């Protein structure tokens, strides 16, 4: 009987310490100002790039550090503990490049992965559209063959780092009428004629991570920029999300841990009725529940990371389960952290209100939690659950 879970190594432990120290010194101090200004956290990017933490998942043969899935999850968790917006730097680089790693030609890998690995470029993912959110198979963006080129026309919405990233994985319809089987994936460059961007969305949270529409107005690209074969884009998109939903889970765990850390420190020093509020049983129960939820979310996320590294058959179940549980945990824990701080938690002078705002998006992007529960239920009904159950 085998239980293929995750294995924490000394390297993982050392990585956690390194990224935690960097986040405390370079990222956390600027988080509130970046949130207030709604500007890309350039200082965080520079610090992450200097430490090779901006795109750690890229294999060594393409200039990256070749971090495994668990290391990438730990890194994103620790950054999000300080600033959820900054955590989207490695997170979205992974999201944008995973289609190439899974399905791209060697030519595409050699051309587009090294600049991301070096920090010269960033990579975004263009799937959602104004009328195709949860139902992305109904997308209207098209890619029409014209000789040895394709011409893209359409709009993508809710694109993280739009206008900042140099490269974009774009999903478009190449064979109308065939549903998911008619969707293909392409690499589009920011510099391609006809590519433009909308105004930045004014958001509740992750304000320092720019989100905008991307427009494709007769964008003509070489056919060799297709990722995989024509008609395989939908499969690539879904396989990508199986691997990247764990990064959203990691982001959510980090947000929740950051809020718990602050609530614990505050409860230990804040006095009422002549004693620290941490001495009151009612508050102790609240803090205990917060800690239990955070650790449960972390363990499920790490278990999903192990599945991602091995590309296990139950990855879809674990990826969706981890994303759902961790994001619900982040929302609950950050809300409770605001409660612990009372009136102070409701002000921008303290970071827990930002963490609460940031937590909300983790329940929405890369598939709403309602959709994730549908995915999990279908996996259960199909008899796909954990390796423990099968063994």
Q: Which helix (H) or strand (E) holds 146?
A: strand 142-146
pLDDT of residue 386: 57
54-90 pLDDT, tens per residue? 999 999 999 999 999 999 999 999 999 999 999 999 9
Residue with tokens 């600027």: 30
CA–CA distance from 162 to each of 97, 111, 126, 150, 222 (Å)? 15, 21, 9, 22, 22
CB distance 180 to 127 below 8 Å: no
> How would you label 45-57 residue by residue, b for 16+ Cβ within 10 Å and e otherwise?
bebbeebebbbbb
CA–CA distance from 342 to each of 13, 169, 336 (Å)? 35, 44, 10
Of the chain, the percentage scoring pLDDT greater than 70 comes to 97
CA–CA distance from 119 to each of 58, 99, 170 (Å)? 11, 19, 21
Q: How high is the mean pLDDT of the chain?
A: 95
Of the chain, the percentage scoring pLDDT greater than 90 comes to 94
Q: Give the HSE-up count for residue 366: Cα atoms under 13 Å, Cβ half-sphere.
A: 33
pLDDT of residue 385: 66
102-159 pLDDT, tens per residue? 999 999 999 999 999 999 999 999 999 999 888 888 999 999 999 999 999 999 999 9
Q: Which of 291, 224, 237, 236 is nearest to 261 (CA)?
A: 291
pLDDT of residue 3: 46
Set out the domains of the chain in order of their start, with CATH numbers.
10-118 (1.10.540.10), 123-231 (2.40.110.10), 234-390 (1.20.140.10)
Q: Give the model's confidence band at 390: pLDDT under 50 very low, under 70 low, under 90 confident, else very high.
A: low
Helices (H), ranges, the chain: 10-22, 28-37, 42-50, 69-82, 84-103, 106-118, 233-269, 281-310, 315-341, 352-362, 369-381, 387-390
Q: Which residues contact 5 (CB under 8 A, 6 or more apart)?
A: 302, 303, 306
The answer, yes or no, to whether residue 389 has pLDDT greater than 60, is no
Q: Which of 243, 278, 231, 260 is nearest to 335 (CA)?
A: 260
CB distance 145 to 130 below 8 Å: no
pLDDT of residue 2: 40
Give the DSSP per-residue string, 213-249.
Answer: EEEEEEEEEEGGGEESSTT-HHHHHHHHHHHHHHHHH
Q: Report the alpha-carbon distance of residue 230 to residue 9 in Å, rounded.
A: 41
pLDDT of residue 1: 31
pTM recorded for the entire structure: 0.96
Overall average pLDDT of the 212-235 stretch? 98
Q: Report the alpha-carbon distance of residue 304 to residue 77 in Å, rounded.
A: 14
End-to-end CA gap in the chain: 6
Which residues have a catalytic role annotated? 366
Q: Report the alpha-carbon distance of residue 356 to residue 34 in Å, rounded.
A: 16
Strands 149-160 and 142-146: antiparallel
């Amino acid at each position: 009987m085998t239980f293929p879970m995750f294995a924490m190594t000394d390297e993982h432990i050392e990585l956690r310490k390194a990224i935690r120290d960097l986040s405390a010194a370079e990222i956390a101090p600027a988080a509130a100002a970046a949130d207030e200004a709604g500007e890309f956290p350039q200082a965080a990017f520079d610090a992450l790039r200097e430490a090779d933490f901006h795109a750690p998942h890229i294999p060594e043969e393409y200039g990256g550090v070749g971090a495994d899935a668990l290391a990438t999850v730990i890194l994103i968790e620790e950054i999000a503990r300080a600033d959820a917006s900054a955590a989207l730097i490695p997170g979205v680089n992974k999201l944008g490049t995973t289609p190439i790693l899974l399905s791209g030609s060697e030519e595409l890998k050699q051309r587009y992965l090294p600049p991301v690995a070096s920090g010269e470029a960033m990579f975004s993912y263009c799937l959602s559209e104004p009328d195709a959110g949860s139902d992305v198979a109904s997308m209207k963006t098209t890619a029409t063959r014209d000789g040895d080129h394709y011409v893209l026309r359409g709009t993508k919405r809710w694109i993280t780092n739009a206008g900042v990233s140099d490269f974009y994985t774009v999903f478009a319809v190449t064979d109308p009428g065939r549903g998911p089987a008619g969707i293909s994936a392409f690499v589009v460059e920011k510099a391609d004629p006809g590519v433009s961007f909308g105004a930045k969305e004014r958001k509740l949270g992750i304000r320092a991570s720019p989100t905008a529409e991307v427009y494709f107005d007769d964008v003509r690209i070489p056919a060799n920029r297709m990722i995989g074969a024509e008609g395989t884009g939908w499969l690539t998109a879904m396989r990508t999300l199986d691997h990247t939903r764990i990064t959203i889970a990691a982001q959510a765990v980090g947000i929740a841990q950051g809020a718990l850390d602050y609530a614990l420190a505050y409860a230990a020093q804040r006095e009422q009725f002549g004693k620290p509020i941490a001495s009151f049983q009612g508050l102790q129960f609240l803090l205990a529940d917060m800690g239990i939820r955070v650790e449960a979310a972390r363990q499920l996320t790490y278990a999903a990371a192990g599945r991602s590294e091995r590309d296990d058959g139950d990855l879809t179940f674990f990826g969706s389960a981890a994303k759902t549980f961790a994001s619900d945990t982040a929302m609950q824990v950050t809300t409770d952290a605001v409660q612990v701080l009372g009136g102070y938690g409701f002000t921008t002078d303290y970071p827990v209100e930002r963490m609460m705002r940031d937590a909300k998006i983790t329940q929405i992007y890369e598939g709403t939690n309602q959709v994730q529960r549908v995915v999990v239920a279908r996996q259960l009904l199909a008899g796909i659950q954990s390796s423990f159950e099968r063994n």
